[in-house]
């Protein structure tokens, strides 16, 4: 009898132990599954937002693979085109909020950090704005534009590219219609109006080539001038349209440090790395020359050779190592497109090429560059 009860106790201990073992291995499996589903934004959650530019197809919900990728990998969105002046404010008294409403709803659905791009930009303007020639009238145009758009999304869009690409390469202000009519104070006006409409929104000055010394000085003086007049500016957006070699890591690092020291955070707002030759890299080439259809300028029409794939991966790795080193200065890193096939770089500066500038390929699969970037967090 005693032997039987000993046997039963032993038997139950073994069964219990086996069940526990199974439960634990289930937990391990669950963890493995979870880590499989982990995306960029989870991996970098303690560092900065991981964002992506969304095009009309994503906003309309017709790119279902893109939507799944977006949900898995990114926690911030920027509208690639639909909030630009010519689309959202095409007539003086006519706004078209159809796509921007959908965009904001999509960001809210995913609990994304939502960016507005862009309020004041000389490009993709509506024709009627180009015709304004009087300072008082242009002040009113800006007031109406900023009040209407920011007002509609107050508390919903968390960050705004208030002024985009106001600088020439030498750091002076570009001769835009805003500069011509209002003068340099249009920057003060835009940032002041923006801070009045939504005092809690993050306000950004956004531009390309901001790693170049002269342009960097120009951007720093924009920041300092605004701050010296008590006008809110929170972030300098370095667009990040880079290539395999340039800008150098030293230039990128120095720029991040310089902007931060000027009293703002940095966002990498439009990151992509072209792997194709550009007209201005060719000695003696005319930028206006038509290279469309030129095979030398479109060397990888079918697929990217392994050697270039590896160069791209190691370039992304070293850039993200740098971002992590300066993580307290960086608020967000946004890729300019969801996958290679959706990149504007297939059509610029030469139309109809096949470029590979992002972390996901045309099948929405992660590339070597993605694994290198994720590898930094393992």
CB 297, min distance to ligand G3I, A: 18
CB 42, min distance to ligand G3I, A: 26
- The residue number with the shortest CB distance to ligand G3I is 344
Please give the biggest Cα pair distance in the chain: 106
For residue 315, what are the contacts with CB-CB under 8 A and spacing of at least 6?
A: 244, 273, 369
Three-state DSSP at 277 gives: coil
Read off the tokens for 134: 């009087």
CB 260, min distance to ligand G3I, A: 22
CB 20, min distance to ligand G3I, A: 55
The Cα 329–Cα 199 span in angstroms is 22
270 is catalytic: yes
Q: Where are the alpha helices (DSSP H) in 38-155?
A: 40-43, 56-59, 64-73, 85-88, 98-109, 127-130, 135-152
Neighbours of 96 (CB within 10 A): 14
| Active-site residue identified among 73, 80, 165, 270 | 270
CB 205, min distance to ligand G3I, A: 13
Torsion on CA atoms 225, 226, 230, 236, rounded to nearest 10: -130
Closer to ligand G3I by Cβ: residue 313 or 360: 360
Read off the tokens for 114: 């939502």
Q: How many residues does the chain have?
A: 378
Torsion on CA atoms 83, 87, 90, 95, rounded to nearest 10: -50
Can you give the binding site for ligand G3I, defined by CB under 6 A? 80-81, 123-124, 164, 208, 239, 270, 344
The Cα 159–Cα 116 span in angstroms is 6
Closer to ligand G3I by Cβ: residue 168 or 261: 168
Closest of 236, 232, 318 to residue 269, by C-alpha: 236
DSSP string, 167-219: B-TTSSBP--HHHHHH-THHHHHHHHHHHHH-TTSEEEEEESSTTSHHHHHHH
The Cα 109–Cα 67 span in angstroms is 12
Closer to ligand G3I by Cβ: residue 164 or 204: 164
DSSP string, 311-356: HHHHHHHHHHHHHHHTGGGEEEEEESSSSGGG-GGGTSSSSS----
Which residues are designated catalytic? 270
């Amino acid at each position: 009898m005693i032997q039987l009860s000993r046997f039963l106790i032993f038997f139950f201990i073994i069964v219990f132990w086996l069940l526990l073992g199974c439960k634990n291995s289930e937990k391990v499996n669950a963890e493995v599954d979870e880590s499989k589903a982990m995306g960029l934004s989870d991996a970098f959650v303690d560092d900065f937002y991981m964002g992506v530019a969304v095009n009309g197809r994503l906003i309309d919900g017709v790119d279902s693979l893109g939507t799944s990728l977006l949900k898995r990998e990114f926690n911030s969105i920027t509208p690639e085109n639909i909030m630009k002046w010519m689309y959202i404010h095409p007539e003086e008294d006519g706004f078209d909020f159809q796509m921007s409403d959908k965009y904001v709803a999509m960001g809210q659905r995913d609990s994304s950090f939502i960016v507005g791009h862009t309020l004041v930009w000389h490009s993709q303007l509506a024709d009627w704005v180009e015709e304004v020639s009087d300072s008082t009238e242009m002040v009113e145009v800006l007031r109406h534009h900023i009040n209407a758009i920011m007002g509609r999304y107050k508390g919903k869009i968390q960050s705004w590219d208030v002024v985009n690409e106001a600088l020439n390469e030498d750091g002076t202000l570009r001769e835009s219609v805003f500069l011509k009519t209002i003068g340099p104070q249009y920057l003060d006006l835009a940032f002041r109006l923006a801070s009045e409409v939504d005092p809690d929104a993050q306000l950004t000055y956004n531009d390309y080539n901001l790693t170049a010394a002269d342009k960097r000085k120009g951007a720093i003086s924009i920041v300092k001038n605004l701050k010296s007049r008590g006008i809110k500016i929170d972030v300098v957006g370095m667009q990040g349209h880079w290539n395999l070699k340039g800008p150098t890591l030293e230039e990128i690092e120095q720029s991040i440090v310089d902007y931060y020291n000027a009293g703002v955070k940095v966002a990498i707002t439009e990151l992509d790395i072209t792997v194709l030759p550009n007209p201005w890299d060719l000695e003696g080439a005319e930028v206006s020359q038509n290279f469309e259809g030129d095979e030398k300028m479109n060397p990888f029409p079918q697929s990217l050779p392994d050697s270039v794939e590896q160069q791209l991966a190691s370039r992304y790795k070293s850039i993200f190592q740098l971002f992590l080193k300066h993580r307290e200065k960086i608020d967000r890193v946004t890729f300019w497109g969801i996958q290679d096939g959706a990149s504007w770089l297939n059509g610029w500066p030469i139309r109809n090429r096949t470029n590979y500038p992002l972390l996901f390929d045309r099948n929405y699969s992660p590339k070597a560059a993605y694994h290198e970037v994720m590898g930094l967090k393992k």
